[in-house]
Amino acid sequence: MSKPAGQSLDRWGRIDGGSMNPIFKAYYDRWFRVEWDGLEHLPRTGGALLVSNHAGMFPIDGSVIALGIEREVGRAVYSLAHHGFWRFPFLGPALSGMGGVVGHPDNAHRLLRDDKNLVLVLPEGAKGPTKSPSQRYRLQRFGRGGFVETAMRAGVPIIPIALAGTEDTTPTLATFRLLGNDVPLTLNAVLFGPLLGAFLQFPAKVRARVLPPIHFDEPPELDHYPSSLLMDHAEAIREQIQQSLSQMLRARKNWWQG
């Protein structure tokens, strides 16, 4: 992503207003028709680690959260992403321009504690987008709790966010193993082909619910936090998002109306 005239880059490579891509704004407003609940739980100042569910062959969740929060609250969101994305000449700079940052603990600490930013992490990782149809809207394991340690060390709260509707934008029909990895076969790929199907999304209604912040008693910047404590917190947060997501799904009329 080239820097638009008159806009500046911060030290992370993010363009001012980077999440406000005109194409995605149109998708956000007219295709996904995103609605928010619980925005009062987002801090107007200070750092916080945002944690959400993750799904879709070409995931939209991070972009939905970043655009919605920048528009509704006026704060930038930085998203931690796998370093492999920056191996591609054009994808890396484009992600950086929208607030993407290589998901390394040092980067997360500087963003949260030094810069006091909002930082988004999706702890399901690749397990979310590649899960089987039988696991539809079932959150996968949140790793070993590394994101909890990140928040504790930085001395910031975790704010869970539940997203309903994102799995309807690229419905998974089946999964199969390819070179040792799980690969989903989506309805999009069947209808539009594997290349276009990875990018073309169905116009599902997306709802986002921000849950109350979770504060920790442990002091920041310790050299070590017990792994059992981290995993217990991670599982509790995963279950909290799952319960909220299940409530949202029970309350909605259908995938189109939400």
Provide the pLDDT for residue 7: 66
- If DSSP codes are grouped into helix, strand and coil, which group holds residue 42? coil
Q: Please give the CATH topology (third level) of the domain spanning 22-250.
A: Glycerol-3-phosphate (1)-acyltransferase (3.40.1130)
Domain locations in the chain as residue ranges: 22-250
Mind giving me the DSSP string for 128-175? TTT--GGGTT-PPP-TTSHHHHHHHHHT--EEEEEEESHHHHS-EEEE
Provide the pLDDT for residue 249: 95
Segments of the chain with pLDDT less than 50: 1-2
34-52 residues labelled b (16+ CB within 10 A) or e (exposed): bebebeebbeeeebbbbbb
CA Rg, the chain, in Å? 18
**Helix (H) or strand (E) segment spanning residue 63:** helix 61-72
Provide the pLDDT for residue 58: 66
AA letter at 161? I
Provide the pLDDT for residue 1: 47
Provide the pLDDT for residue 198: 79
Contacts of 170 (CB under 8 A, 6+ apart): 55, 56, 57, 58, 186, 187, 188, 197, 201, 202
pLDDT per position as a tens digit, 20-74: 778 889 999 999 999 999 999 999 999 999 999 998 666 789 999 999 999 999 9
pLDDT per position as a tens digit, 240-255: 999 999 999 999 988 8
Regarding beta strands 158-164 and 207-210, do their DSSP bridges make them parallel or antiparallel, or are they unpaired? antiparallel
